[in-house]
Amino acid sequence: MRAIAGIVAGVVLLAGCSGHQLGSAQKVEPSGSEFSQNLYRGYIGLAENEYAEADYKDSDRFAVRATEAGRGGAMPPEDIGARKLPAENIAEMTDARAGLVAALEAGAAEQNPAGAAQAQIMFDCWMQEQEENRQPGDIARCRDGFYVAFESLSPPPALSEAVRFIIYFPTDKAVLDPQAERVIAEAQAAAAKLGEPVVKISGHTDTVGTAAYNQTLSALRADAVAKILASGDMPIRELITEAHGKTQPAVLTADETAEPRNRRVEIILEP
């Protein structure tokens, strides 16, 4: 009897970890702000999608967030450290989350509750899919959905303000990937609104490797971006290209430290 009781207890324990949060979350009558209610509906949708894919762990995770949001509780986007993300994606996702949090703190949830909730839902969806890192189509859907929603929260820059864009690179690479090309396209569109800006392009590296090697690598990165920018119809009053090697890290690290946020090119448009 004792052995049987142990088996039954084990089955009950497993059942408690197998997507049972979704049913409870679906029974919640959402209250609170319009933003919270939109979050509730969005998280329920994510929980249902993961449940349909038999990913009960993530279904439970989203269902718990739905329940909290539905009850009007504070529910920020997932912390970057909450999931095991691929190293090459951490910098972009850190910046994305920071931008979303800044928009929410600036009142986006009150001014555009549906758009703000959609941006948060798509960010958390992106986090989950990027952690799994096995369905490129789903990763792209969530990531692109985040950026589309986020743009609805961000008013265009005033014509008197400088605008900055950042492109990140893999280790030892100066090749532009599709994400880099999208950032350059955004910079070109912003430049058109500014008229004929001064464009400053600065290349940087992390601290892995010698100073001479990184100086050359940062120059290659800056030149790759400048070449694409200059090849378009973007009106430019002056184009300035700089290479800083590993001397100006965005994140201070010890020498010989691989840091994705330091492997970058910054584009600054000045009216």
Is 194 in contact with 163 (CB distance < 8 Å)? yes
Is 199 in contact with 190 (CB distance < 8 Å)? no
Is 28 in contact with 64 (CB distance < 8 Å)? no
Could you give the CA distance from residue 30 to residue 32 in angstroms, rounded to a whole number?
7
What domains are there in the chain, each with its CATH number? 19-151 (no CATH), 163-270 (3.30.1330.60)
Question: Is 0.95 topped by the overall pTM?
Answer: no
Res 9: pLDDT: 35
Residue pLDDT, tens place only, 124-162: 999 999 999 999 899 999 999 898 888 888 665 555 567
Res 158: pLDDT: 56
Reading the block at residue 103, the tokens are 């928009």
Could you give the CA distance from residue 146 to residue 257 in angstroms, rounded to a whole number?
30
Res 72: pLDDT: 87
Residue pLDDT, tens place only, 56-96: 999 999 999 999 999 988 889 999 999 999 999 999 999 99
DSSP assignment of 158-217: PTTS-EEEEEE--TT-----HHHHHHHHHHHHHHHHHSS-EEEEEE---SSS-HHHHHHH
Distance, CA of 80 to chain centre: 9
Backbone angles phi, psi at 267, to 5 degrees: -110, 120
Q: Which residues of the chain have pLDDT under 70?
A: 1-19, 154-161
